[in-house]
Amino acid sequence: MALFAPQLRTVNVTRYITPLREGGSLPAITEADDGFMYVLKFRGAGQGSRALIADLIGGEMARLLGFRVPELVFAQLDEAFGRTEPDEEIQDLLKASVGLNLALHYLSGAITFDPNVTKLPSRTASEIVWMDAFLMNVDRTPRNTNMLVWNRELWLIDHGASLYFHHTWTNWEEQSTKPFVQVKDHVLLPYATDIEAVDEDFKKLLTPEHIRAITELIPDEWLTHHESSVPEQKNIYARFLENRLLHSRNFVNEALHARKALI
pLDDT in tens, 33-73: 999 999 999 999 988 999 999 999 999 999 999 999 999 99
- The total domain count for the chain is 2
d(CA 108, CA 101): 21
> Do 94 and 118 have their domain in common?
no
- In the chain, what is the straight-line distance between the N-terminal and C-terminal CA atoms, in Å? 42
33 found inside a domain: yes
- Predicted local distance difference test score (pLDDT) of residue 143: 92
Lowest mean pLDDT among 45-49, 74-78, 180-184, 208-212: 45-49
Q: Percent of the chain, pLDDT > 90?
A: 83
1 found inside a domain: no
Of 79, 105, 131, the one marking the end of a domain is: 105
> Do 257 and 140 have their domain in common?
yes
Confidence of residue 81 (pLDDT cuts 50, 70, 90): confident
Helices (H), the chain: 49-64, 80-84, 88-96, 122-135, 172-176, 195-205, 208-215, 230-246, 248-262
> Do 240 and 144 have their domain in common?
yes
> Do 232 and 166 have their domain in common?
yes
> Do 65 and 126 have their domain in common?
no
Nearest to 130 by CA among 201, 208, 199: 199
Range of the domain at 87: 10-105
> Do 191 and 243 have their domain in common?
yes
174 found inside a domain: yes
d(CA 217, CA 228): 18
* Model-wide pTM > 0.85: yes
> Do 29 and 43 have their domain in common?
yes
Q: Which of 14-28, 78-92, 184-198 has the highest mean pLDDT?
A: 184-198
